[in-house]
Amino acid sequence: MGRTAKFLALAILALLLLAVVPAALAVLTSVESPGREARRELAARLQLSDLCLNTEARYLRHASLSDWQSPFQEGPGFPDLYPGGTVIPVPPADRIGFAASAAPEVE
């Protein structure tokens, strides 16, 4: 009898745990990051284009405005030496503003 009770208690605990964590995530996801409105307002006022994730180098600070040349501007064969360049890659080249051939056709 004691064993059954123990087992039932464990099973109920496990079920609770299984239910509680996803439920907690569901509730917590409804909480917005504080200050988003202030950020939006500032980004619109100054017409900002980028998140300030990394301030090591120009092309990492404004990564989306960057191109495939800017990380290698210091000289021919000069590598991209900032660690942030590993996790913040260059923007995709198929967008307009890269080589003219890469831009979508317009009739």
Partner 1 sequence: MRWWRRQYYFLGYALSSLWRRRGQALTVLVVHVLLVGILASVVLFTRALKRESDLLFEGENSCYVQHMQGGRQLYVPAQWLQEVSSIRGVSALEGRLWGYYFDPLTQANYTLMATDGDDLRAGEVVLGAGVQRVALLRPGDSISFRAYNGMDHVFEVRRVLEPEVDLVAADMVLMREDSLRALYGLPPGVYSDLVVTIPNPAESVTIARKIQERLPGARPMLQEDLQRSYRAMLDWRGGLSLFILSAAVLSFLILAWDRAGTVHLKERQEIATLKSLGWSVDDLMRWKQWECFVLAGLAYVLGLALAIIHIGWFDGSLLRPVLRGWSVIYPAYQPALVPAWPELLLIGALAVIPYLLASLVPIWRLALLDPGETLR
| Residues between 53 and 92 that touch partner 1 (CB under 8 A) | 53-58, 60-61, 63-65, 67, 69-70, 73, 82-89, 91-92
What DSSP string describes 19-51?
A: HHHHHHHHHHTTSPPTTHHHHHHHHHHTT----
Per-residue string for binding with partner 1, 13-52, x by CB under 8 A?
A: -x--xx--xx-xxx-xx-xxxxxx-xxx-xxxxxxxxxxx
Phi, psi at residue 13, to the nearest 5°? Answer: -60, -45
Q: Between 1 and 47, whose beta carbon lies closer to partner 1?
A: 47
Nearest to 54 by CA among 45, 63, 64, 67: 63
Q: Which two tokens stand for residue 97?
A: 């503003």
Give the N- to C-terminal CA distance of the chain in Å, as an integer. Answer: 81
12 binds partner 1 (CB under 8 A): no
- Rule CB under 8 A: which residues touch partner 1? 3, 7, 10-11, 14, 17-18, 21-22, 24-26, 28-29, 31-36, 38-40, 42-58, 60-61, 63-65, 67, 69-70, 73, 82-89, 91-92, 95-97, 100, 103-104, 106
